[in-house]
Structure 1
Amino acid sequence: MMAKLLDLTQERDAHIDQRLREDKIGWLNTVRPDGRPHAVAVWFLWDGETILIFSRPVNQKVRNIKQNPHVLLAIDNTHNGSDPITIEGTAELLAPDTIQVTIPLYLEKYAERIKAIGFTPEKMAAEYSQPIRITPVRAS
């Protein structure tokens, strides 16, 4: 679990934790069945131990995770590459009724963006109904 990986008394680990909580966009990297990489921008929620992402059930990342759960999430909000964070982990496809986009922490983080793309939380939950939980194994 990431909680054991990050020692929040250490400056770099505390910085990684803060970025995971505050950054809005990450690049989720999965592996296609033929071995080619697939990268897509995602919204994500960090709870201190795992990362939660929501997807449309038919998207390529979901198909990729079904056959290979090893993923990498990369974030960099600096626009110049001076502070990238990478998280390697194992992804799990949760049952759609387990958790939804309408959870308070997710809405708090993304309410403005959901509205900006013309969605309501309910519409977002209906379309992005596949929850993906990533359990990190390495952070850098």
Structure 2
Amino acid sequence: MTVTQRRGRRIMMTDTERDTYLGEQRTCRVATVSAEGMPHVGALWFVWDGTSLWLYSLTRSRRWAQLRQNPKVAVVVDDGVEYGELRGVELSGEAEVVGEAPRTGEACAELELPERLFASKYFGLDTLPHDGRHAWLRLTPEAVTSWDFRKLAGLS
């Protein structure tokens, strides 16, 4: 993972701050592009394992169709209301499908951790129930940018 941030180093999150932040947040926005070049942005639940962002997406969605044609993706996780509260992380790279699509629960060692994290974070469960409509996308970011405007006022 490459941190591409040149400006704004003063407000950039440390690796630990970024990992904590991504572990706490619940919703991200995923940007994809159609074959015709039309962008699409949609909200999605996710988990972060310290290296990769795991997206659990409907396989019959515009996002899924666009990523199958062009795996390049940008994801933003952010929060804050007032200017001095704004925080966020942007991750970009290529998304890859992991496991069967749609996911029915077949054994897959790569999915053990993200499914456990996802089940706990969103459902309060130890194991993830599979609905046969979603599948996993893994984004191991090629570029990461972060910001925490609270640092400008010494609030973080």
Quickly name the TM-score band, shorter chain normalised: 0.7 to 0.9
Structure 1: which amino acid aligns with 2:69? Q
Amino acid of the residue matched to residue 91 of structure 2?
Answer: I
* 1:128 CA displacement: 4.1
Q: Percent identity?
A: 25
Q: What pairs up with 1:112-123 in 2 under 5 angstroms?
A: 121-122=128-129
1:138 lines up with 2:143 in the alignment: yes
Q: Judging by fraction of residues, say which structure has more helix.
A: 1
Counterparts in 2 of 1:78-89, with a 5 A limit?
A: 78-80=80-82, 82-89=86-93
Gap change, CA 1:92 and 1:80, over 3 Å in 2: farther
In structure 1, give the amino acid aligned to 2:143: R
| One of 40, 47, 57 as aligned partner of 1:55 | 57
Give the TM-score normalised by structure 1: 0.76
User: Relative to 1, partners in 2 of residues 1:15 and 1:28: Cα closer, same or farther, differing over 3 Å?
Assistant: same
Normalising by structure 2, we get a TM-score of: 0.69
For residues 80-119 of structure 1, the aligned pairs below 5 Å read 80=82, 82-96=86-100, 97=106, 98=108, 99=111, 103-111=115-123
Cα pair 1:56 1:127 within 8 Å, conserved: no
- 1:27 aligned residue: 29
Post-superposition offset of 1:129: 2.6
User: 1:36–1:53: structure 2 CA closer, same or farther, 3 Å change rule?
Assistant: same
1:45 is aligned to 47
- 1:82-138 CA-to-partner distances (Å, cap 9, x unmatched) read 2232111210022324448x92211111116x9xxxxxx53xx21443111111011
Report the number of matched residues: 127
Match of 1:69 in 2: 71
Name the CA distance, whole Å, in 2 between partners of 1:59 and 1:106.
20
User: Which has the larger strand fraction?
Assistant: 2
Where does residue 8 of structure 2 map in the other structure? none
Secondary structure of the residue that 1:17 maps to in structure 2? helix
Shift of 1:80: 4.3
Q: For structure 2, list consecutive stretches of 5 or more residues without a partner in the other structure.
A: 4-11, 101-105, 146-156
| Counterparts of 2:13 and 2:66, CA distance in 1 | 34
1:111/1:66 CA distance change after superposition, 3 Å: same
Unpaired segments ≥5 residues, structure 1: 115-120
